[in-house]
Amino acid sequence: MTARPRLRIDFVSDIACPWCAIGLAGLERALENLRDELEADIYLQPFELNPDTPPEGVDADEHLKAKYSMGEARLAATRARLRERAAAVGFAYNVGPGSRVWNTFAAHRLLHWATLQDPHAALALKRALFRAFFSDNENVSDPAVLVRCAEQAGLDTIAARAALVAGDYADEVRGQERHYQRAGIHSVPATLVNRTFLISGGQPPDVFESALRKIASEAAWDEAGGKQPE
């Protein structure tokens, strides 16, 4: 019997991106549905939608209206769609009047540190950060919030706090951001499979499932030298 194909998945995203939260949840649900057909390793890669956001953050309504030329009606419709899509994958999207957009660079540094400790814990940290930002309207540039998210992910809080205070992994995060920008990634989420196949956007689980099954089948075909795997 042939071993299940194993995929490398680079998930390029920002904590401040609601479609990234929805997309990651959809991807993970698809992988759970495909657990008998394939295996996958997810690597979280950084992207900043708003790298110039000040430490105090900015009002979410004002930011979105200015950045995307949105009026009240379009903003309300967009948020209603996000709430619906998020709920479908078990995620609470609670952004509304009074919410703020926060700088996410420190969170990306912490995610890089977490990946070096345990990639599975890094995924748990990513989910905790999404909940903090979109479900609980918390400041994810606040070290106290970041350390608490690390604790929720089962990571060492003393080491997490030390990495944040020292400014560790800033160069590594910037380098990864430049790498994916040079590779043509200019919007997120972007799901890159086996460093070759790109799945764009916060897709629902069935779309991810279909794409990953097709990619895994092609990978198995290539590994078998163009012969049908036994």
Q: How many domains does the chain have?
A: 1
76: domain CATH number is 3.40.30.10
Q: How confident is the model at residue 195 (pLDDT cuts 50, 70, 90)?
A: very high
Mean pLDDT on 152-163: 98
pLDDT confidence of residue 1: 47
pLDDT confidence of residue 2: 62
Residue 181 lies in a domain: yes
Question: Domain range for residue 23?
Answer: 6-214
pLDDT confidence of residue 55: 86
Residue 150 lies in a domain: yes
Mean pLDDT on 76-95: 97
Residue 102 lies in a domain: yes
Mean pLDDT on 101-111: 98
| Cα 26 to Cα 142, 149, 205, distances in angstroms | 28, 21, 4
Residue 226 lies in a domain: no
**Pair 183, 162: CB distance under 8 Å:** no
**Pair 53, 101: CB distance under 8 Å:** yes
pLDDT, the chain, mean: 94
- Distance, in Å, from the CA atom of 221 to the CA atom of 215, rounded to the nearest integer, reads 10
Helix axis angle for 18-33 and 119-130, nearest 10°, is 130
Residue 27 lies in a domain: yes
Q: Is the pLDDT of residue 32 over 70?
A: yes
Residue 1 lies in a domain: no
* DSSP type of residue 154: T
Q: How confident is the model at residue 218 (pLDDT cuts 50, 70, 90)?
A: confident
Q: How confident is the model at residue 127 (pLDDT cuts 50, 70, 90)?
A: very high
Strand 6-13 with 39-46, pairing: parallel
Residue 224 lies in a domain: no
Prior bond to 5 cis, omega within 30?
no
- Distance, in Å, from the CA atom of 115 to the CA atom of 1, rounded to the nearest integer, reads 33
Residue 192 lies in a domain: yes
